[in-house]
């Protein structure tokens, strides 16, 4: 359901052009859990932004669930982000002065949905934080904050979860807990794309796409899934 | 994004930093309070002017010497009793005529002595034409006039000063060294022409025989002022013209020679005064309005700071699906809410100021009713929202245009 055809991305840094992606082509099927790994500057953040509809490629085609993303305008992209994609960031990116419940409700405000409170409570329960809904992020541990972020990503029932170094700010034990949540979600059918530079995190996924210098170096499948 | 959510989000953001919100509102608050005060005072002023001139009478025309104003005393006058009689006889648009002559004299009574008091010689018609309202006793009558009686009518302040609480009627009074009897006391004439409360009135005929010697010389029976009542307020201009024609004839003025008198209608003076006061009021309101401009700049400044502070938040909102329009509206509403709150409190403050000023003025003898014209409130509300939207526009557009990726990377 994610189809990338010869995606390139070129940034202009003053007078010089910086090619961040030099022709990425791949398919990610519905229900897959894929990790994208690579050293600094390999283009993994760039490809993540493109898959997440936060950025448009310089050339190439991107189809998400059959929709040609490169043909959409800004407002349409915003709608896709709202309804089809759930983001999880390394630094959580929660609204700091607002409760967990309000944080999770945020995407629902922009989708114009009624019954927000109930839906938000449901997903918070699902990630095991039903008892922390009125807490503000400053009152939560790192792992709990990330779980709130995951709940927020899930609340609008997306097709795809995009996680950018989700365990980067967490200790080993908490990282394992978070990865377990992702695996559980994947078992329930959620497509998950994870960007990381840590091989042990990547080892949790079915397939790992290795990037180097803006191109796919290799795509590795793991057995026994 | 639903409208209610916009307001809710904006309000939450403002409440989060109460001190900052209050300080930002101050500019608009003070501006609106100032404008409201000025406009309220202006309308009260207009009311006072109207009321005071109403006391004088709307159909009134004054004929005076060229140089002086309405209470002309002692200067060169070319007007005479004959002029007054001619006007009364020949002017068709004129109802009644009341000539008067004034001088300064010493007034002594009941142990009190007042120097340099204005003493006016008047005719019985003056009661009607000049609208003198008698509080006690009576005004100068036909028989007083014909008999050249030595009787006097006192202004309210004179009576109070000379006789205090005692009944002045029937009392003896020395004017310019001559003995007179008080036959009447007038009601107070109000604040604008309050000088009149300090005057003493005697019959014109008596004046010529007793006090005229101290008059600066002219021909025979000179008068300082001729009060003329037109038949109605519609014929003020034709009446005025008639008077001018009659007098020019009597004074033998040739074509091209200027008038050696002035003919002023009270109504036009009132109009001019109202106009001038109106202009002053709008200028003051305009100056007060400048503080509104400053308030708007304050809002724009704080909104820009707010946007910068919340760059990551904006990036996040966009990442979860906020469109540019959603962000734009969010910040516009924040700015407009700040402004509107400031305006609302400003109206309240303005109202309090007006009430205080009206209490002070009333105590000082200038009674005025504090009114808060509805149009001023609507104006304040409208202007507040307008300023909020305009000031917030630039910051809101900047926020809406932020790139989500860059924003999420921001500190």
Q: Is B51 on the interface with A (CB under 8 A)?
A: no
Lowest-pLDDT choice from A25-34, A54-63, A126-135, A216-225: A216-225
* B60 part of a folded domain: no
pLDDT for B357 equals 83
Q: Answer yes or no: do A107 and B326 touch at CB < 8 A.
A: no
Does A177 reside within a domain? Answer: yes
Last residue of a domain, one of B260, B283, B302: B260
8 Å CB contact between B173 and B219: no
Task: Specify whether B334 is located in the same domain as B251.
Answer: no
Whole-number Å distance between alpha carbons of B173 and A59: 111
Tokens standing for residue A75: 């407002």
Kindly list the residues from chain B whose CB atom is less than 8 angstroms away from the CB atom of residue A111: 321
Q: Tell whether B229 and B146 lie within a shared domain.
A: yes
| Interface probe, candidates B5, B320, B403, chain A, greatest A C-beta count within 10 A | B320
A33: confidence class by pLDDT, cuts 50, 70, 90: very high
Last residue of a domain, one of B260, B284, B318: B260
- Tell which residue, A132, A129, A108, A128, has the closest CA to residue A118: A108
At which of B237, B260, B283 does a domain end?
B260
Tell me: the pLDDT tens digits for A171-183? 999 999 999 999 9
Kindly provide the ipTM of the predicted complex, given to two decimals. Answer: 0.93
Identify whether A5 is part of a domain. no
Q: Residue B231 in 3-state DSSP?
A: coil
Mean of the per-residue pLDDT values for chain B? 85
Do the chains contact at A112 and B326, CB–CB below 8 Å? Answer: no
Say if B409 is an interface residue toward chain A (CB within 8 Å).
Answer: no
Q: Is residue A202 part of a domain?
A: yes
Min Cα distance A146 → chain B (Å) is 14
Any CB–CB contact under 8 A between A113 and chain B? no
Structural domain includes residue B266: no
- Using CB atoms, which residue from B312, B323, B405 is nearest to A75? B323
* B80 and B12 share one domain: no
- Among A72, A76, A95, A109, the residue to mutate for chain B (most B Cβ within 10 A): A109
Mean pLDDT lowest among A36-45, A138-147, A215-224, B140-149? A215-224
Per cent of chain A over pLDDT 70 is: 99
> A78, B2: Cβ pair inside 8 Å?
no
Q: Which of A136-140, B4-8, B209-213 has the highest mean pLDDT?
A: A136-140
pLDDT of residue A225: 46
In terms of residue numbers, what domain contains B48? 3-53+271-409
A77 reaches B (C-beta below 8 A): no
Does residue B294 fall inside a structural domain? Answer: yes
> What is the distance between the alpha carbons of residues A76 and A72, in angstroms, rounded to a whole number?
6
Q: How far is CA A78 from the centre of its chain?
A: 15
Instruction: Chain B: give the shortest CA distance to residue A180, in Å.
Output: 24
Residues B49 and B102 placed together within one structural domain of the fold: no
In this structure, are B231 and B275 located in the same domain?
Answer: no
Q: Are residues B49 and B78 in the same domain?
A: no
pLDDT computed for residue B202 by the predictor: 92
Within-domain flag for A97? yes
Task: Collect all residues of chain B within an 8 Å Cβ-Cβ radius of residue A52.
Answer: 319
Domain that residue A207 falls in? 30-55+84-221
B161 belongs to a structural domain:
yes
Do B71 and B219 lie in a common domain?
A: yes
Please tell me whether residues B288 and B404 are part of one structural domain.
yes
Q: Which residues pair with A35 in a beta bridge?
A: A194, A208
Decide if A8 contacts A23 (C-beta within 8 A). Answer: yes
A223/B244: higher pLDDT: B244
User: Is residue B55 classed exposed, middle or buried when 0-12, 13-18 and 19+ CB atoms within 10 A define those classes?
Assistant: middle
Lowest mean pLDDT of A58-72, A149-163, B231-245, B352-366, name the range. Answer: B352-366
Top residue of B321, B322, B326, B403 to mutate, by most chain A CBs within 10 Å, is B321
Name the closest residue on chain B to residue A86, using Cα atoms. B320
CA distance B21 to chain A (A): 17
Residue A136 lies in a domain: yes
Residues B85, B25: one domain?
no
For residues B335 and B221, membership in a common domain is answered with no
What's CA A133's distance to the chain center, in Å? 23
Is B258 an interface residue toward A (CB < 8 Å)? Answer: no
Tell me the residues of chain A between 154 and 173 that have a Cβ less than 8 Å away from chain B: 156
Pseudo-torsion of CA B225, B230, B235, B240, nearest 10°? -20
Domain tally, chain A: 1
Number of independent structural domains in chain B: 2
Q: Which candidate, B268, B128, B273, B151, places its Cα nearest to that of B202? A: B151
Could you tell me the pLDDT band of residue B70, with boundaries at 50, 70 and 90?
very low
Report yes or no: A74 at the B interface, CB cutoff 8 Å: yes
Cα dihedral B54, B56, B60, B66, rounded to 10, equals: -130
* More confident: B4 or A8: A8
Q: What is the CATH number of the domain that holds A197?
A: 3.40.50.300
Q: How far is A24 from chain B (nearest CA, A)?
A: 20
Q: How near does any CA of chain A get to the CA of B11, in Å?
A: 13
Q: What is the pLDDT of residue A122?
A: 92
Are A52 and B323 inside 8 Å of each other by CB? Answer: no
Q: What is the mean pLDDT of chain A?
A: 90
Residue A66 domain-assigned? no
pLDDT of A86 reads 95
Confidence of residue B330 (pLDDT cuts 50, 70, 90): very high
Please tell me whether residues B190 and B278 are part of one structural domain. no
Structure tokens at B75: 């200067």
With an 8 Å Cβ cutoff, are A111 and B322 in contact? no
pLDDT at A187: 92
Q: Is residue A82 less than 8 Å (CB to CB) from chain B?
A: yes
Q: Does residue B192 sit in the same domain as residue B97?
A: yes
Which residues of chain A does B405 touch, with a Cβ-Cβ cutoff of 8 Å? 49, 54-55
Distance from CA of A106 to the nearest CA of B (A): 8
Check residues A31 and B52 and name the one with the higher pLDDT. Answer: A31
């Amino acid at each position: 359901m994610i189809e990338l055809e010869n995606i390139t991305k070129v940034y202009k840094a003053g007078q010089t052009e910086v090619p961040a992606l030099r022709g990425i082509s791949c398919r990610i099927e519905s229900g897959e859990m894929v990790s994208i790994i690579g050293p600094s500057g390999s283009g993994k953040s760039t490809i993540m932004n493109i898959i997440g509809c936060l950025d448009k490629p310089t050339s190439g085609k991107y189809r998400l669930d059959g929709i040609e993303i490169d043909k959409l305008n800004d407002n349409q992209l915003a709608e896709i982000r709202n309804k089809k994609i759930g983001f999880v960031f390394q630094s959580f990116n929660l609204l700091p002065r607002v409760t967990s419940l309000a944080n999770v409700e945020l995407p629902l405000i922009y989708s114009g949905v009624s019954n927000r409170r109930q839906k938000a409570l449901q997903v918070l329960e699902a990630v095991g934080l039903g008892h922390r809904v009125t807490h503000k992020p400053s009152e939560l541990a790192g792992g709990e904050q990330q779980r709130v972020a995951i709940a927020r990503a899930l609340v609008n029932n997306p097709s795809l979860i995009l996680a950018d170094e989700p365990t980067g700010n967490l200790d080993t034990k908490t990282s394992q807990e978070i990865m377990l949540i992702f695996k559980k979600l994947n078992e329930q059918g959620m497509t998950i794309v994870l960007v990381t530079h840590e091989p042990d995190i990547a080892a949790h996924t079915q397939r790992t796409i290795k990037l180097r210098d803006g191109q796919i170096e290799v795509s590795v499948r793991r057995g026994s899934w | 994004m639903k409208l209610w959510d916009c307001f809710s989000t904006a309000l939450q953001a403002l409440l989060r930093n109460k001190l900052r919100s209050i300080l930002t509102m101050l500019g608009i608050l003070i501006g609106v309070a100032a404008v409201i005060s000025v406009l309220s005072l202006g309308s009260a002023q207009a009311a006072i002017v109207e009321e005071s001139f109403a006391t004088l009478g709307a159909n009134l025309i004054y004929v005076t010497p060229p140089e002086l104003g309405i209470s002309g005393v002692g200067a060169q006058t070319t007007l005479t009793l004959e002029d007054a009689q001619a006007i009364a006889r020949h002017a068709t648009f004129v109802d009644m005529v009341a000539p008067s002559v004034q001088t300064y004299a010493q007034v002594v009574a009941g142990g009190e002595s007042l120097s340099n008091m204005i003493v006016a010689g008047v005719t019985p018609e003056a009661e009607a034409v000049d609208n003198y309202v008698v509080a006690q006793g009576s005004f100068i009558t036909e028989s007083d006039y014909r008999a050249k009686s030595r009787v006097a009518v006192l202004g309210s302040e004179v009576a109070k000063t000379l006789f205090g609480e005692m009944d002045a009627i029937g009392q003896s009074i020395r004017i310019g060294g001559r003995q007179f009897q008080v036959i009447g006391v007038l009601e107070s004439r109000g604040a604008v022409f309050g000088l009149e409360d300090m005057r003493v009135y005697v019959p014109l005929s008596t004046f010529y025989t007793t006090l005229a010697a101290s008059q600066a010389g002219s021909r025979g029976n000179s008068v300082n002022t001729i009060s003329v009542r037109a038949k109605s307020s519609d014929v003020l201009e034709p009446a005025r013209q008639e008077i001018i024609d009659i007098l020019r004839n009597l004074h033998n003025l040739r074509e091209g020679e200027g008038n050696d008198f002035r003919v002023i209608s009270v109504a036009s003076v009132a109009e001019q005064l109202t106009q001038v006061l109106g202009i002053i009021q709008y200028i003051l309101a305009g100056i007060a309005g400048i503080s509104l401009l400053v308030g708007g700049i304050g809002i724009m400044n704080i909104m820009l700071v707010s946007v910068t502070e919340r760059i990551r938040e904006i990036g996040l909102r966009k990442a979860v699906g906020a469109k540019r329009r959603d962000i734009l509206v969010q910040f516009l509403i924040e700015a407009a809410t700040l402004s509107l709150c400031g305006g609302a409190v400003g109206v309240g403050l303005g109202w309090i100021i007006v009430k205080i000023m009206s209490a002070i003025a009333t105590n000082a003898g200038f009674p005025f009713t504090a009114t808060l014209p509805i149009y001023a409130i609507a104006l304040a509300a409208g202007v507040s929202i307008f300023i909020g939207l305009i000031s917030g526009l630039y910051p809101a557009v900047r926020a809406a245009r932020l790139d989500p990726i860059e924003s999420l990377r921001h500190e």
